[in-house]
């Protein structure tokens, strides 16, 4: 899934497909770099928000959809708040992730989160420490969610199958 620095083929249809998917503000980016300077993920990883926007503008599909960087955004929206061009960066990244998943790319950590959701109804599993903490507060160890509602969990599983989400996750 990792990308390298070798130039890939330009695919103008890719830019159009991103715009058509509702992420049209990507065309407004004028490469000031404010988003990159605001990005907490970029401080500790190779993810560069500005570069991601430019790759989309130029149609570098093969640098975007299979890339590990696409999954390093925490969706904190700091970039959205500061972008002087009103580029909806977080929405664009979510759109790109949706496209990536449809092409068979998804970060393992995100797959695990999705698997937890499909299995338990919760994206984040309830650990023993939280179970014990709840009990010390006089609460049931299991919260009154799908963890204790079998019918609710079955409904989630039906939705997962009906939407094909399980196949996307693999
Ligand atoms: S802050 Fe906005 S205009 Fe500047 S590089 Fe980022 S997306 Fe582009
Ligand atoms: S939303 Fe993503 S890209 Fe934007 S600042 Fe936060 S981590 Fe960086």
Q: pLDDT tens for residues 9-27?
A: 899 999 999 999 999 999 9
Do residue 17 and residue 78 come from a single domain? yes
Do residue 112 and residue 69 come from a single domain? no
* Of 97, 101, 91, 102, residue with least CA distance to 23: 91
Rounded to whole angstroms, how far apart are CA atoms 151 and 63? 43
Question: Into how many domains does the chain fold?
Answer: 2
Question: Who's near 7: CB < 8 A, 6+ residues apart?
Answer: none
- Which of 102, 124, 141 represents a domain boundary (last residue)? 102
Q: Within the chain, how many helices (H) and strands (E) appear? A: 10, 0
Q: 8 or 110: which carries more pLDDT confidence?
A: 110
| pLDDT score recorded for residue 8 | 72
Do residue 112 and residue 98 come from a single domain? no
Compute the distance from residue 126 Cα to the ligand 2 centre, in Å: 27
Q: For residue 5, tell me if it sits in a domain.
A: no
Q: For residue 4, tell me if it sits in a domain.
A: no
For the residues 53-63, what does the mean pLDDT come to?
A: 96
Do residue 42 and residue 98 come from a single domain? yes
Is the CB of 49 within 6 Å of ligand 2? yes
Compute the distance from residue 32 Cα to the ligand 1 centre, in Å: 5
Compute the distance from residue 102 Cα to the ligand 1 centre, in Å: 26
Which residue range is the domain that position 50 belongs to?
12-102
Q: For residue 29, tell me if it sits in a domain.
A: yes
Do residue 66 and residue 40 come from a single domain? yes
Q: What is the pLDDT of residues 63-105, one digit of tens each?
A: 999 999 999 999 999 999 999 999 999 999 999 999 999 999 9
DSSP label at residue 71: G
Q: For residue 3, tell me if it sits in a domain.
A: no
Q: For residue 6, tell me if it sits in a domain.
A: no
Mutate to test the pocket of ligand 2, among 78, 82, 94 (most ligand atoms within 8 A of CB): 78
Do residue 35 and residue 73 come from a single domain? yes
Q: What is the pLDDT of residues 109-164, one digit of tens each?
A: 999 999 999 999 999 888 999 999 999 999 999 999 998 999 999 999 999 999 99
Provide φ and ψ at 142, rounded to 5°.
-95, 130
Q: Is 1 exposed, middle or buried (0-12, 13-18, 19+ CB in 10 A)?
A: middle
Do residue 42 and residue 113 come from a single domain? no
| pLDDT score recorded for residue 5 | 64
> For residues 100 and 65, is the Cβ–Cβ distance under 8 A?
yes
């Amino acid at each position: 899934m990792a990308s390298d620095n070798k130039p890939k083929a330009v695919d103008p249809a890719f830019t159009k497909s991103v715009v058509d998917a509702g992420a049209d503000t990507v065309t407004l980016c004028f490469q000031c770099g404010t988003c990159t300077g605001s990005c907490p993920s970029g401080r500790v990883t190779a993810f560069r928000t500005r570069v991601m926007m430019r790759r989309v503008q130029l149609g570098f599909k093969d640098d975007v959809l299979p890339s590990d960087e696409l999954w390093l955004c925490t969706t904190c929206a700091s970039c959205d708040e500061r972008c002087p061009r009103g580029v909806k960066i977080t929405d664009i990244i979510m759109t790109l992730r949706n496209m990536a998943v449809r092409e068979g790319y998804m970060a393992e950590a995100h797959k695990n989160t999705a698997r937890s959701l499909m299995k338990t109804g919760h994206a984040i599993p309830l650990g023993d420490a939280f179970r014990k903490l709840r009990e010390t507060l006089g609460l049931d160890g299991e919260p009154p969610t799908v963890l204790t509602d079998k019918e609710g969990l079955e409904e989630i599983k039906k939705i997962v199958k009906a939407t094909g989400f399980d196949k996307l996750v693999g």
